Amino acid sequence: MTTNPAALLVLCLRVGGVSRRRLALVALVALAGLTACDGQLATRPMNDDASMPRTDAAVDEVATSEQTLAVARFVAPVLVERGLTPDEVTTLTASPTRFAEVVRAWGDEPAIARSARRLVERSLAVSGGERDGIDYGLPGRLVERVVRDGEPWGTILTRESCVGRDGEDTDCDSGAPYAAGVLTTRAFLSVRSGRFNLTRAGTITHAFLCNEYPLPESMEPRLPRETLLPMFRALTAEEQTDPDAAMSGIANGFHCYACHGQFGAHAQLFVRFDAAGVWREDATGLQNPDGMPGESFGGLMTSHLVAELAANESSQMLGREVAHLGEAAHAVAEHPEFVRCAVEKLVEHTVPATDVDHRFTRDVVATLGEAPTFVDLVVATVTHPRFVRSLATQLGVGADSEGSDADSGEER
């Protein structure tokens, strides 16, 4: 069954005679949002009936100048922090088909890089400032550099260096003997720290692949069951041999392998990063018997794997064997879902609180070449006829709308 995590936690708190350790395990699983990973193997809705962008055949038609202007005026403040210039208004009034040309020119403005930074910082839940010796602006500055230099968008995950406050390249600050762009910044690693490294692993799939666990088997094969701790091998109540996990049966204690067969592979990539985001060669990946479930020793987190494999950070990512998080980041950036997800995140960034039609994002990806830049993504997405006509309709500007100020020749 699928259980609401908040309701589950309340129920757990009412259970009498439950050890602190067992109760913590129940709460941990509940708050991780894993209750959809039950016998039904629920997956994230495809949103094929979403209202943005619409999938009606009509939205493939060329947009009118009024519609194009309305959309341009809506997206410009988000993407370049300003309204339209008089020249842009004149251009789009005379020829809405030049919208892509106008947006492409935005790529030369510093604000477009700042917009990309906000998109990623929101996805990772990090932003500026310094606290406890951690530079929370490090991921954002890296993103800005990638956009300003016209590097492929995937470089945010694969760049070998970060960017200091002085604008110069510098080592990313986790101390790992490899780099994985924003993923090897202490800002990301500390903010997304959590027991069993569930939050760090889940952020990769959610922020950069737009998928939730369980992933399709074709996308990520599950680890062999015998490599996982007994609690994560179970698919039925009879198979659950760990008493703590059995206690959490209403939170998938009986269906752990469905999700954790994949979760464990991704979480293993973080087994040597402590709660402060520092890479530790002395990590064991073993459960601390005096700690909460999922906590190892010295601020490190417990591995999903059996003892002889627990300290080894090599794993798999999207069906590829990888030696560490750095190689895994390349696997993510090179996967087709990465670019499709980038389009989806861009739509959500530009038009907040909207569901995104997966057929639309696939259509946009089909127009892009290999290794697109952020500006490539912006141009292909916001100037796509479906995006323009759908957003214009939501803004109340139809094909026959009147009363536009498009002929005024200047932005108000």
The tokens of 389 are what? 């006509």
Count: domains in the chain: 1
One-letter amino acid identity for 229?
Answer: L
pTM of the model: 0.83
In sequence order, which residues have a C-beta less than 8 Å from that of residue 336 and are 6 or more positions away?
365
Q: Has residue 388 been placed in a domain?
A: no
Q: Along the 412 residues of the chain, how does pLDDT read in single tens digits?
A: 333 333 322 222 223 334 444 444 444 443 443 333 433 322 233 333 445 665 453 445 678 999 999 999 999 999 999 999 999 999 999 999 999 999 999 999 999 999 999 999 999 999 888 999 999 999 999 999 999 999 999 999 999 999 999 999 999 999 999 999 999 999 999 999 999 999 999 999 999 999 999 999 999 999 999 999 988 987 766 666 666 655 544 345 556 888 999 999 999 999 999 999 999 999 999 999 999 999 999 999 999 999 999 999 999 999 999 999 999 999 999 999 999 999 999 999 999 877 888 899 999 999 999 999 999 999 999 999 999 999 999 999 975 544 444 344 344 3
Residues 35, 248 contacting (CB under 8 angstroms):
no
Q: Has residue 371 been placed in a domain?
A: yes
In sequence order, which residues have a C-beta less than 8 Å from that of residue 294 and are 6 or more positions away?
28, 194, 195, 196, 198, 287, 301, 302
Q: Which range marks the domain in which residue 137 is found?
A: 1-50+100-381
Q: Has residue 258 been placed in a domain?
A: yes
